Amino acid sequence: MSIIMPRRIWRFFPTRGLSGKWYLIHYKQDAVEFTNLDLAIQQRFLDLLDRVYGMDKARFDRKGRVRIRPRTVVSDLLSHSRLGCLSWQVPKAVMAGDCSPRAAWCRGYADGDGTVAKTEICLDSTNSLGLNQVQDLLQSLGIHSKVRGPYSREPYLDRFSLVIHKESLRQYAGLIGFNHPKKTHALTKLLGSPGGS
């Protein structure tokens, strides 16, 4: 059996076997990690963790990461959708739900990955299948959109963009909108501009 350890750990072991004072034990841990540097999104995420799971002690580190470890929470999160930039999908319960959960899910997705541009809202992802599901959700709410791409960004993964054009902006603002204050302000400004719908 071969043991691979970083050099800084080996100095704690005597040359004859592993009988030193310091050692590492690795337990298999299930965890979900969420990363975002935007403080408004971090606070919203922490509020939802507290409201849904009672996790009032969760905090983001300096790198904008929070790790969720309670098995019941991890199991529940993973039961709704696969996670990861290429694997996520709209949860089946949301797809089959009525207008309110569909709009809330779209709002959460747009808060994280949406951008308010000069004449449109763009939702970007490297997952074209997931983005097509978001388009289906928007269509079910009467909001027209179009998926564009792929846009190559070597050495990174290709990016796709779901675009909500100005004809559907008012309906988007009324049904979905944003929780994010800066994006809400940008959408309000866009709707008030002569080019806005």
Is residue 4 included in any domain, yes or no?
no
> What does the alpha-carbon distance between residue 129 and residue 38 come to, in Å, rounded to a whole number?
26
Distance CA 12, CA 18 (A): 9
Report the number of distinct structural domains present in the chain.
Answer: 2
Q: Taking a C-beta distance cutoff of 8 angstroms, is the pair 68, 58 a contact?
A: yes
Q: Does residue 45 sit in the same domain as residue 125?
A: no
Instruction: Please report whether residue 5 resides in a domain.
Output: no
Inform me whether the pLDDT recorded for 65 exceeds 50: yes
Residue 61 lies in a domain: yes
**The two three-digit tokens of residue 36, written as one number:** 């975002």
What is residue 82's three-state secondary structure? coil
Q: Cβ–Cβ contacts within 10 Å for residue 101, how many?
A: 15
Residues 6+ apart with CB under 8 A from 48: none
List the domain range (segments joined by +) for residue 118: 84-197
Same structural domain for residues 125 and 189? yes
pLDDT digit string, tens, across residues 95-108? 999 999 999 999 99
Residue 11 lies in a domain: no
As beta bridge partners, residue 67 has 33
Same domain, 108 and 60: no
Examine the domain organization and report whether 75 and 88 are in the same domain.
no
Query: What are 153-195's pLDDT values in tens digits?
Result: 888 889 999 999 989 999 999 999 999 999 999 999 999 876 5
- Those residues whose C-beta lies under 8 Å from the C-beta of residue 84, and which sit 6 or more positions away, are none
Per the domain annotation, does 140 fall within a domain? yes
For residues 137 and 126, give the distance between their C-alpha atoms in angstroms, rounded to a whole number: 18
